Amino acid sequence: MMNKNLINLSVGLFEKFIDSSDLLEKARFTPPDESTLEELKYFFYNLSDQKIAKLPRQKHIAQYLSHADKQLIAVNWLISSDDAKQIAENIGVAVRIIDLKEYHFLIFQYPLDIKPKSDIDPEILEDEVLGMVRMGQTVDVVTLQNLSNPITLLEVEKGSALDIDSTDRIGYFLLTFGNQIENLGISPKTMDLSRHLLLTEHALFPLVNIPTALSLNEPKYVFLEFYRCLELVFVMPRVEKLSARFKPFFEMGSSPPKLSQIAKWCSNDLGWHRVERKSIRQLMSLLAEHDPFPMQALCQSVNILKNRDVISADWTPNKREVESLADTLYDIRNQVAHQFWPEDEKELTANEFGALTEFIAESLSFLYEKYPEI
């Protein structure tokens, strides 16, 4: 059965490299010897509960549970040993990169949809694959492995933050490692908060935005992607206010309010007039009441905010100052999203956008902690 499965998988892999149907019929891999075959059987028969998730930008992850109560995670991108150490520090258990043997590659390349490298030298392809097939010779699996995009196998000890029933969340979490975040102004604190959010079960959290942000090369667009994580949920304080209006009717069993009254409440609490700006103001007010320090740190780090009373050590939140800060934050978001004329834009450095991104990450962390049901 194992040999038959290997043959079927080899046909699928050859199809990615060989266009000619006649040549494809002749293509054969060098078969594994008996000891290798036994090792493969032992390795794969000890895996169960396969889960596969497709992520943006043709990224794939396959998750397994081994009989040794460890997770095996396969991804179709490169994770370095340094990245693995960082992952282990974040999840609190040992993480080991497993050496990818050639027949392991043959089996994992299917669920991960591995593609040939985009820069294959045609002469190498001819000499090592096509020419061998024409001459009726077998092709070593490692040959096509070297011509394909990478696979990384991670073995993760039980009892980690990755023990969640959400393979796509694990994939998005892993995508946050190995990025050159220093050039994007992203602080370690921002990364820690973001990774925690990615692994926490929140139905409304847009998983794709943070890995997307890390793939960008402009700090202002990184800020915008983080800000977009707020857009689904920053209305929650207003929804909470509207919900509170209905609560007495349910508790007292009284007649429901008239439709005209409901319409008025919806208009007042969720009305479309300046809905986003008003929502950001309410969120900033809640955040300032909870902990004014993130707001003070932001104002100390961004030049256009330094003249505000917020930065004083004895500052206590007040409505005017908080709403003014919220309006500035919203204006910066609009500036980046809508690309104003240069003369109309507020000047911000990469580090200042980094401070804004960290503030958004702290706001997200607060919001999802306050409203755990979202």
The fraction of the chain above a pLDDT of 70, given in percent, is 87
Within-domain flag for 315: yes
Among 145, 163, 181, give the residue marking a domain's end.
Answer: 163
Same domain, 279 and 150: no
**Average pLDDT by consecutive 10-residue portion of the chain (374 residues)?**
70 89 88 84 82 90 85 93 93 91 86 92 93 92 93 91 88 84 75 89 79 84 89 74 75 68 65 68 86 86 76 70 88 85 77 93 88 75
Within-domain flag for 59: yes
Within-domain flag for 178: no
* pLDDT given for residue 273 in this prediction: 45
Same domain, 49 and 131: yes
What's the domain count of the chain?
Answer: 2
Same domain, 284 and 141: no
Within-domain flag for 180: no
* CA dihedral over 303, 280, 290, 160, signed as positive or negative: negative
Same domain, 234 and 332: yes
3 state DSSP class of 98 = strand
Within-domain flag for 187: no
Same domain, 142 and 11: yes
- pTM equals 0.82
Provide the CA 65 distance to its chain's centre, in angstroms. Answer: 22
Choose among 183, 207, 159, 194: nearest CA to 54: 207
Same domain, 137 and 253: no
Among 163, 195, 210, give the residue marking a domain's end.
Answer: 163
* pLDDT given for residue 183 in this prediction: 58
Same domain, 13 and 109: yes
Among 114, 142, 163, give the residue marking a domain's end.
Answer: 163
Q: Encoding tokens for residue 350?
A: 């990469």
Pairwise CA distance, residues 135 & 6, whole Å: 22
Q: How far apart are the first and last CA of the chain?
A: 47
Long-range contacts of 172-176 (CB under 8 A, 24+ apart): 172/55, 172/198, 172/207, 172/208, 172/210, 172/211, 173/198, 173/199, 174/61, 174/73, 174/75, 174/79, 174/87, 175/55, 175/59, 175/77, 175/211, 175/214, 176/210, 176/211, 176/214
Within-domain flag for 192: no
Contact yes or no for 223/363 (Cβ under 8 A): no
User: Where in the sequence is the domain holding 292, given as residue range(s)?
Assistant: 229-370
Within-domain flag for 197: no
Same domain, 158 and 235: no
Pairwise CA distance, residues 205 & 351, whole Å: 26
Same domain, 153 and 244: no
Pairwise CA distance, residues 260 & 145, whole Å: 67
